[in-house]
Amino acid sequence: MTHDSLTHDSLTIGVDIGGTKIAAGVVTASGQIWARTMRATDPADPDQIEAAVADAVAELVAQYPEVTAVGAAAAGFVGPDRTTMLFAPNIAWRNHPLGARLAERIGLPVVIENDANAAAWAEYRFGNGRGAANMVMLTLGTGLGGAVICDGHLVRGAFGAAAELGHMTIVPDGHYCGCGQEGCWEAYSSGTALAKLARNVAVADPEGARPMLAIADGEPLTGAHVTAAARQGDPVATGLLVRFGRYLGLGVATLAAVVDPGLVVVGGGIAAAAGDLILPAAREGFLAKLSGRGFRGELDIVTAALANDAGLIGAADSARTLDPAVAVAGAAVPVPA
């Protein structure tokens, strides 16, 4: 497909807002990224983040003036209005009218999306979730993010805070979680959890942890060190990833009892680096805890296809497909239906 074959309403911009940087790109109706740019950000300075987003969008609009709308994805609770950041764990947003403020700076309609929701939407529309009307997206990074799609629609909940799957309790009175509760799924299946598990092993069994410690070379053990050691055949590191995967599967079995998805797509940095080492154990853990096994369909668990571009692509597509009445309008430019 050539640029000339697309109509002007086919282009939107997606912005993936992280704690220290933003990535922005011009995205077509088929999920292709035509141009992209990045900016550094300061999580303690919301004004600087908004200015960086506006600057990145301006750079892209200068290349593609036919862009009609902007979608921005960020970690945190997004209000039902799809414009307000109710709470963000890594950025100083509390009941922050992000959509309206960005629309004023940018001069285009803006919609705000939770980052896991955006990634899930991208996988559902263009990635490994295509054809699965009922799916769950899990993002394995520092924490555990999630999103649920039922009958082709993202589940947002009454207050815009649905699908915080990492904070389901899977082990009563279990490990402490960063949210302040105990036994959360994130405390067992996340980069933070894997690193903590490895460090505990290093204290309890320094000889067994020697291959991981050699790779770390004096640095604190991380999930990347565990993965590297496992790929070299280290049985201790391999065992840690199997344990990690089984907890992942346990949580998926709980999800199956609630929303009955046909597919679970696992993305994020850990899935990209170690999905092939984790997912077999996740499938085993899921089947071991699946209620009614043998009398119901068994979902598949797969890795994501779009990697780090998922949030950007999903945010852009949300801006394209959103009901125009919901978007924050700027410069009287409507969002295409």
pTM: 0.88
3-state secondary structure of 162: coil
14-29: string of b/e by CB count within 10 Å (b at 16+)? Answer: bbbbbbeebbbbbbbb
Asked if residue 124 lies in contact with residue 305, where contact means CB atoms within 8 angstroms, the answer is no
Packing angle, helices 235-259 and 191-204, rounded to 10: 140
> What are the residue ranges of helices labelled H in the chain?
46-63, 98-106, 115-126, 191-204, 210-216, 223-231, 235-259, 269-289, 310-321
CB 18 within 8 A of CB 25: no
- Model confidence over 71-97: pLDDT tens digits? 999 988 999 889 999 998 878 899 999
* Sheet strand arrangement including 85-87: 77-78, 85-87, 94-96
Q: 3-class SS at 158?
A: coil
Distance of alpha carbon 70 from alpha carbon 75, whole angstroms: 17
**Which pLDDT score, from 0 to 100, does residue 9 have?**
52
Structure token pair of residue 223: 């999930």
Q: Is there a contact between 298 and 287 (Cβ–Cβ < 8 Å)?
A: yes
Which domains does the chain show, CATH number per domain? 3-119+309-321 (3.30.420.40), 131-304 (3.30.420.40)
How far is 298 from 285, CA to CA, in rounded Å? 13
Q: How many helices (H) and strands (E) does the chain have?
A: 9, 13
Among residues 122, 120, 119, 164, which one has the least CA distance to residue 144? 164
Q: What is the mean pLDDT of each run of 10 residues along the chain (337 residues)?
A: 46 93 96 97 92 97 96 92 88 93 96 95 97 95 93 91 92 92 96 96 97 97 97 98 97 95 95 96 97 93 95 95 50 33
Which helix (H) or strand (E) element contains residue 111? strand 110-114
Distance CA 189, CA 195 (A): 10
Please tell me the distance from the alpha carbon of residue 94 to that of residue 184, in angstroms, as a whole number.
23
Predicted confidence at residue 179, as pLDDT, reads 85
